[in-house]
Amino acid sequence: MFSKILIANRGEIALRVIRACRELAVQTAVVYSTADADAAYLKLADEAICIGNAPPKESYLKPDRIIAAAEIADVQAIHPGYGFLSENAHFAEICRTCKIEFIGPTPEAMAAVGDKVECKRLARKAKVPIVPGSEGEVENEKQALRIAEEIGYPVIIKAAAGGGGRGMRVAHNDVSLQGGLRQAQAEAENAFKNSAVYIEKYIEMGRHVEVQVLGDHHGNIVHLWERDCSMQRRHQKLVEESPCPVLKPKTREALCTAAVRLVKAAHYTNAGTVEFLLDRDQNFYLLEVNARIQVEHPVTEAVTGIDLIKQQIRIAAGETLPFKQEDIEQRGHAIECRINAEDPSRNFAPSPGVIEQLRLPGGAGVRIDSHVYAGYRIPPNYDSMIGKLIVHRPTRSEAVATMRRALAEFHIAPTSTTIPLLLQIMDNQNFQNGDVDTGFVERVMLTK
């Protein structure tokens, strides 16, 4: 086991990793930018090192500063969290060169699954269903029009190097395809410095169902079942749950074993998530693989009883997975709501600044993962998520009721949050019946 780890992230995920390390008796050093200098979670690490000014590209996205911090803190490993450099194969490579263990997949596995085009090639090899579409990058408009005619409209144009819902455009006909292609390429160039795009059939009314996987360095790979993340706004998840309320047992089995086949083909290790689109006929299609620990990992921790962050650290330290596939069960039902400092009544305008009042919910079945507290100043430089509220109950209807109770108990002022929208979701008939798709929130709930 490592004696000391550097946490190259901030906010709730930094706190999450610090907590796991404390329980493993691993010393911690955490990096921070000047905007996070006063955050209380820093005090829970053994050491905190300032690595730059507030803008991420001057701090959390600077591999040289992070490696330098790892060196002066004399750590054996770096946990990258999610976002920032967590899926940067170049950074993982630098860690390896500097003989610092990167707590995540190898640079090769990360690159293999991280490029959407390469990932689809692996999927075909592993007999994992993919969404019909272009075999690789779309070279030109003429090719795009031909592919769209073959697979049939509507289609979606996506950035090959993209994520977070950016660099995407839906097209319903040739005209919108031509315009959408140009827009998606421009957006991709701007966001990811890579204008490569590909085209897929756009599956409407689909559900986002993803599978958690864990692989050790000794050839063992398991899945930890699925999460349904269909409640989204602008391709950002609002609510996640496990199990998926509509999956039939046979489909669940097929979906999860397909995920394992895919990551095995990529020689993947450590934690990862394979995302699928599930249509209304229980057909599933690969969307992409996320080569990192995800925001919504607590949902899986709740239903399986397995601490994913500790497992990540153990795997990186060379330990064998302490369980076999048949040992991993889904028990009860878990739901997570992301609490964002945004005002739904003002088009989700961010609400940074000092939290003056905060009273968190509690009670049976309630877990909070959050770095904030009364007096905490939310910096404007980073994403708006201030915490995650997770509930775990024996049945889905109880979980929904507990989540509604917990959301209603949550008191925060003067910061605006997405809690009112989350309450509406919990009260929504379709959601309660499990009858939703990835467009539901925007189509039905936000256009009143």
Partner 1 sequence: MDVGLLARLVELMTRHDLNTVDVRDGDRRVILKRGGIGGAVQGVQPPATFTPGGAPSQTLATSAVPTAARAEEESRNYRITSPMVGTFYAAPKPGEKPFVTVGSLVTEDTDVCIIEAMKTFNNIKAECRGTVVRVLAQDGQPVEFGAVLFVVTPS
Residue 11 φ/ψ region, left for φ over 0, alpha for ψ in the -120 to 50 degree band, beta for the rest? left
| Residue 198 vs 382, nearer CB to partner 1 | 382
* Size of site (CB under 8 A) for partner 1: 28
CB of 60 to partner 1, least distance (A): 12
Site string for partner 1, 284-313 (x = CB under 8 A): ------------------------------
| Residue 38 vs 442, nearer CB to partner 1 | 38
Q: Applying CB under 8 A, which of residues 71, 139, 356, 427 lies at the interface with partner 1?
A: 71
Write phi, then psi, for 411 (nearest 5 degrees).
Answer: -120, 125
CB of 368 to partner 1, least distance (A): 20
CB of 73 to partner 1, least distance (A): 7
| Residue 59 vs 134, nearer CB to partner 1 | 59
CB of 184 to partner 1, least distance (A): 37
Give, as ranges, the residues between 98 and 157 that touch partner 1 (CB under 8 A).
98
| Residue 74 vs 135, nearer CB to partner 1 | 74
Which residues does residue 155 pair with via DSSP β-bridges, in sequence order?
171, 201
Stretch that binds partner 1, among 66-74, 103-111, 183-191, 233-241 (CB under 8 A): 66-74
Write phi, then psi, for 238 (nearest 5 degrees).
Answer: -105, -40
| Residue 3 vs 357, nearer CB to partner 1 | 3
Stretch that binds partner 1, among 59-67, 123-131, 177-185, 311-319 (CB under 8 A): 59-67
HEC string of 353-407 equals EECCEEECCCCCCEEEEECCCCCCEECCCCCCEEEEEEEEECCHHHHHHHHHHHH
| Residue 26 vs 403, nearer CB to partner 1 | 26
Contact 203, 439 (CB under 8 A): no
* Residue among 16, 169, 292, 393 flagged as catalytic: 292
Write phi, then psi, for 272 (nearest 5 degrees).
Answer: -160, 170
Q: Applying CB under 8 A, which of residues 7, 8, 11, 65 lies at the interface with partner 1?
A: 65
| Residue 64 vs 326, nearer CB to partner 1 | 64
Stretch that binds partner 1, among 62-70, 125-133, 146-154, 195-203 (CB under 8 A): 62-70
Give, as ranges, the residues between 259 and 278 that touch partner 1 (CB under 8 A).
none
CB of 371 to partner 1, least distance (A): 15
State how far the Cα of 396 lies from the Cα of 232, in Å rounded to an integer: 19
**Catalytic site includes residue 96:** no
Give, as ranges, the residues between 18 and 57 that touch partner 1 (CB under 8 A).
22, 25-27, 34, 42-53
CB of 366 to partner 1, least distance (A): 24
CB of 407 to partner 1, least distance (A): 32
CB of 379 to partner 1, least distance (A): 16
Stretch that binds partner 1, among 70-78, 114-122, 134-142, 199-207 (CB under 8 A): 70-78
Give, as ranges, the residues between 82 and 101 that touch partner 1 (CB under 8 A).
98
The encoded tokens of residue 154 equal 């509507």
| Residue 65 vs 333, nearer CB to partner 1 | 65
Which residues does residue 101 pair with via DSSP β-bridges, in sequence order?
77
Q: Applying CB under 8 A, which of residues 6, 13, 15, 67 lies at the interface with partner 1?
A: 67
Contact set with partner 1 (CB under 8 A): 3, 22, 25-27, 34, 42-53, 59, 64-65, 67-69, 71-73, 98
| Catalytic annotation, residues | 292
